[in-house]
Amino acid sequence: MPQLVCGNERVEVDENGYLANAEEWNENVAQALADQEGVGELKPEQLDVLKFMRSYYQNYRSFPILGSVCRNVHQPSECVNEEFIDPLKAWKIAGLPEPVDEVVSYLKRPV
C-alpha cells in the first residue's frame, strides 16, 4: 500500500489516496492529505468541517448532506463548496473511506 509522510509519521493510503485506517487521522495527517489534494494549509473553519464529517461518519456511516454540515459548524450554507471547492476532497482529507460511486455522482462538485 502507498504511504503518506506526515512529519515524522507515515500512514497508509489506498490506491486512490484515501486514508487506509480512519483511526490514524489527526491534524497532521489531515494536513498531509490536504497537501496531497493540493488544498494548502488548513484553516480553522476547514478543520471544523473535517471534524464534523468525521463525527457524522462515526455516528451514521454515511456521507452527510452538505447543508447539514454547514449548519452544524455554524457556517454559510455553501460552506463546504466555498472552503474546499470540492466536498469529496474534504471527505478525503477528513480521513474517511472512499464513498460509493453514486455519492460521487450526486455530490455538488466540479468535474
Partner 1 sequence: MAEPAAEKTLLDVVTEADTDKNAKGPELTGEINVPRVEEGRIVKGKLSGAKPHAAKPEIMTALGFPDTLVDNWEEAAVKRLGELLEKYKSLQVYLDICVRCGSCTDKCQFFLGSGDPNNMPVARAELLRRVYKKYFTTEGKLFGKLAGARKLDLKLLGDWYAYFHQCSQCRRCSVFCPYGIDTAEISMAAREIMDSIGLGQKYCDMTIGKLLEIGNNLGMNPKALTNTLESIEEDIEEEDGVPVKLPLDVEGADILLVTPSADFFASPHVESLIGYAKVFHQAGVSWTMSSLASEAGNFGMFVGNYTLMQKAAMRIRNAIEQIKPKRLIVGECGHAWRIAYSFWNTLIGPFDSLDPNYPAPQHICEYTLDLVKRGAIKLNKEANDEFTVTFHDSCNVARASRMGSRPGGQFTIPRELIKASCNKYVEMDPATTMEKTFCCGGGGGLLTDEIMETRIAGAMPRMQTLHAVMESDGVNFMALICAICKAQFTKIMPKYGVPMEVAGGVHQLVGRAIELGAKE
Count of other CB atoms within 10 angstroms of residue 106: 9
Rounded CA separation 89/6 (Å): 18
**For the window 36-65, what string marks contact with partner 1 as x by the rule CB under 8 A?**
-----------------------xxxxxxx
**According to CB under 8 A, which residues from 87 to 106 bind partner 1?**
99-106
- Residue 13's contacts (CB-CB under 8 Å, 6 or more residues apart) are 1, 2, 3, 4, 19, 20, 33, 36
44/100 with CB nearer partner 1: 100
Q: How far is the CB of 9 from partner 1 (least distance, A)?
A: 28
Q: How far is the CB of 87 from partner 1 (least distance, A)?
A: 11
Residues at the interface with partner 1 (CB under 8 A): 59-68, 71, 99-108, 110-111
